[in-house]
A and B are shown apart, each in its own frame.
Chain A
Amino acid sequence: MSQVRIIPVLLLKNGGLYKTVRFKNARYVGDPINTVKIFNEKEADELVLLDFNASQEKRGPDFKKISEIAGEAFMPMGYGGGIRTLDDAKRVFDGGFEKVVLNSILFEDLSIIEQIGNIYGAQAVVASVDVKKSLFGKQKVYGQSGTRGSGLDPVEWVRQLEGAGAGEIFLNSIDRDGTWEGYDIDLVREVSKAVSLPVIACGGAGNIQDLKQAIHEGGASAVAAGSMFVYQKKGMGVLISFPAEKLKI
């Protein structure tokens, strides 16, 4: 039996943590350093920290800040947000992160995946794919925090990413983000089937059943969530939690 990774996702903005709904209406959640400290003490399997507006605002990573945050985690951490060059990636790794999460840059330059992978290993490069239904109801990939349509079909795109050497796919449903309605299982299934890479499902998880569903029905290799781990319940106050129950497949 393999233990499935359960991964809290934290959204960073101006040095503070926020939570969105459908990638909008960011609400303040608190101080990232203390939040990561708490997740560390709860022995979270892994953490992903995303500076979600970085590319949109044409910013690079705040290396000093994210290193301070990484210093509180004694489990693997991934960082995404504004990474555009090999040097950016190097500085993120040097700051104490195991993985870099790339998104917007990939629409311009896929070769960066291999550049980073050749030195740090493919598993250190996570390709993040944000998906939402277009006006015509078809699932499409979006860049720049969901503001710019790429016209790409998610399955085609992840195949390209696999070909480019990515180690993992971080699949985010914009439509489900922050809704507590459960993952978009069809989307997760389609993408997981299309590649042999591990796929981390994200967007919509509201409870442990949702996590299990993404694994058993969606074929995801790992499950990520935001709202579920930072709010006590839907509509209730901020309270950090992490399930004690381990998921296995």
Chain B
Amino acid sequence: MFNTSDQSYRQCALSVMDTIADPDIRFDEKGICNYYYEYKKAEAALHKGDEGWAMLEKIADEIREEGKNKPYDCIMGLSGGVDSTYVAYLAKQLGLRPLAVHFDNGWNSELAVMNIENIITKLGFDLFTYVIDWNEFKDIQIAYLKASVVDIEAITDHAILATLYRLAGEKKIKYILSGTNVQTENTLPKSWIFNKHDHINIQSIHKAYGTLPLKTFPFSNAKVKRYYQQVMGVRSVSVINYVDYNKKKIKELIQRELGWRDYGGKHYESVWTRFYQGYILPTKFKIDKRKAHLSDLIFGGQITKEEALEELKMPIYDPAQFKIDFDFVLKKLGLTEEEFNAIMQAPPRSHYDFDYEKPIDVRYPALKPFKTIYRTFFPVK
């Protein structure tokens, strides 16, 4: 437990990022942290307002043209959360014909499901659901818990990416509409996450602690992704980066237009995510993700630092909800309280303690000269 009088604790002058959130955080002479500058740099590269919309319409034209005689001209993930719901709304505004893809990892909340139903019905889109085999997914989640690595969500993130690319390739769809955005997601300390494209890390963590063979889990690797991108020409468009993304206004919009219901908390459309961000991250890894998200909102002028501090004062997890979720998580994962507490007590380990995806010449140094020759003929696009 940190002590604010402890000399080593510092908080950004502008935002709520601090040395606990990221021990490697840097401050300039004004006490402003590096995340502010990174945010501003990313923001400057964006086009907003009329200019952004014009660019988006131009991209939409290309998408429509490319997908002219096909059942769908683009593909998008739908989770029931704000970001993907807004992407769906924009897709409709832009006159696109997306295939909505929902990824079911067995942790959907009723709210998420209800939101997806309303969106699909009101916007008239088709829905494809990829239901992960629960036994396999559970096995990987437990392996990650036992491995004590931080980014347990990488499993789901990886599977979503793999599924979207695979579906895009199968259905010859060239465009993936993505909900990633600078305004609420730019700030993210590297120590909180791991490369979600890395299938080797998932497989090696599973190999160390898993018990079932993974027969159906969707894996992707860098080579496959490059194939889809370069050979099949699949590209990802971060739609939200072209428009003004004021979270409060957008929530009101989607509530009004699509009957969207709010959960409270980012990503709480998944019971697991609520538990992971509300309990596992803060308790085991000392990470409070709200700090990053709120700081982005401060950098973008959507809230003040005072408002952010007020929010941080509130408990990250409603105690009654936590008890219910705790029982539920243990029941779903088939873990006893003792087993789970032991996992929570174990010290965190790095993802790099396990095998991970390396470029081929790093993995096999003897191949380095061959890579140089190869790259002469086939440069990276």
Direct contact of A and B (CB under 8 A): yes
Interface residues of A (CB under 8 A from B): 15-16, 28-31, 33-34, 37-38, 41-42, 68, 71-72, 232-233, 236-241
Q: A33-B331, A237-B102 known; A15 and B129 CB under 8 Å? A: no
Cβ-defined contact, B113 with A241, below 8 A: yes
Q: What is the total of A-B residue contacts with beta carbons within 8 Å?
A: 65
Cβ-defined contact, B128 with A42, below 8 A: no
Cβ-defined contact, B332 with A31, below 8 A: yes
Which residue from B102, B120, B331 sits with its C-beta under 8 Å from A68?
Answer: B331
CB-CB contacts below 8 Å: B87-121 with A: 101-102, 104, 106-110, 113-114, 116-117, 120
Cβ-defined contact, B107 with A34, below 8 A: yes
How many angstroms from the CA of A41 to the CA of B131 in the assembled complex? 20
Q: Which residues of A contact B332 (CB under 8 A)?
A: 31, 33-34
Which residue from B109, B127, B133 sits with its C-beta under 8 Å from A232?
Answer: B127
Q: A33-B331, A38-B113 known; A238 and B133 CB under 8 Å? A: no
Cβ-defined contact, B110 with A238, below 8 A: no
Q: Which 6 A-B pairs have the closest CB atoms?
A: A237-B129, A41-B110, A31-B134, A31-B106, A238-B129, A237-B127
Which residue from B116, B135, B271, B331 sits with its C-beta under 8 Å from A239?
Answer: B116
Q: Which residues of A contact B331 (CB under 8 A)?
A: 33, 68, 71
How many angstroms from the CA of A41 to the CA of B108 in the assembled complex? 12
How many angstroms from the CA of A237 to the CA of B78 in the assembled complex? 12
Interface residues of B (CB under 8 A from A): 101-102, 104, 106-110, 113-114, 116-117, 120, 126-131, 133-135, 271, 328, 331-332
Which residue from B102, B110, B113, B131 sits with its C-beta under 8 Å from A29?
Answer: B131
The smallest C-beta distance from A180 to any residue of chain B, in angstroms, reads 15
Which residue from chain B places its CB closest to the CB of A33 in the assembled complex? B332
Q: Which residues of A contact B130 (CB under 8 A)?
A: 237
Which residue from B128, B131, B271 sits with its C-beta under 8 Å from A28?
Answer: B131
Cβ-defined contact, B113 with A240, below 8 A: yes
How many angstroms from the CA of A237 to the CA of B110 in the assembled complex? 16
How many angstroms from the CA of A38 to the CA of B116 in the assembled complex? 13
How many angstroms from the CA of A59 to the CA of B378 in the assembled complex? 59
How many angstroms from the CA of A39 to the CA of B114 in the assembled complex? 11
Q: A68-B331, A232-B117, A232-B120 known; A34 and B106 CB under 8 Å? A: yes
Q: A37-B328, A239-B116 known; A30 and B127 CB under 8 Å? A: no
Q: Which residues of B contact A236 (CB under 8 A)?
A: 126-129
Which residue from chain B places its CB closest to the CB of A29 in the assembled complex? B131
Cβ-defined contact, B133 with A28, below 8 A: yes
Q: A68-B331, A232-B117, A236-B128 known; A16 and B110 CB under 8 Å? A: no
How many angstroms from the CA of A187 to the CA of B101 in the assembled complex? 38
Cβ-defined contact, B113 with A30, below 8 A: no
The smallest C-beta distance from B336 to any residue of chain A, in angstroms, reads 14
Q: Which residues of A contact B117 (CB under 8 A)?
A: 232, 239, 241
Q: Which residues of A contact B134 (CB under 8 A)?
A: 16, 30-31
Q: Which residues of A contact B128 (CB under 8 A)?
A: 236-237
Q: Which residues of A contact B102 (CB under 8 A)?
A: 237-239
How many angstroms from the CA of A232 to the CA of B101 in the assembled complex? 12
The smallest C-beta distance from A51 to any residue of chain B, in angstroms, reads 16
30 residue pairs of the A-B complex, CB under 8 angstroms, read: A16-B134, A28-B131, A30-B106, A30-B131, A31-B106, A33-B331, A33-B332, A34-B107, A34-B271, A34-B332, A38-B108, A38-B109, A38-B110, A42-B114, A72-B328, A232-B117, A236-B126, A236-B128, A236-B129, A237-B101, A237-B102, A237-B127, A237-B128, A237-B129, A238-B104, A238-B131, A239-B113, A239-B127, A241-B113, A241-B117
Q: Which residues of B contact A241 (CB under 8 A)?
A: 113, 117
Given contact pairs A28-B133, A239-B127, enumerate 16 new A-B contacts (beta carbons under 8 Å). A16-B133, A28-B131, A30-B131, A30-B134, A31-B106, A34-B271, A72-B328, A232-B117, A232-B120, A236-B127, A237-B101, A237-B128, A238-B131, A239-B116, A239-B117, A239-B120
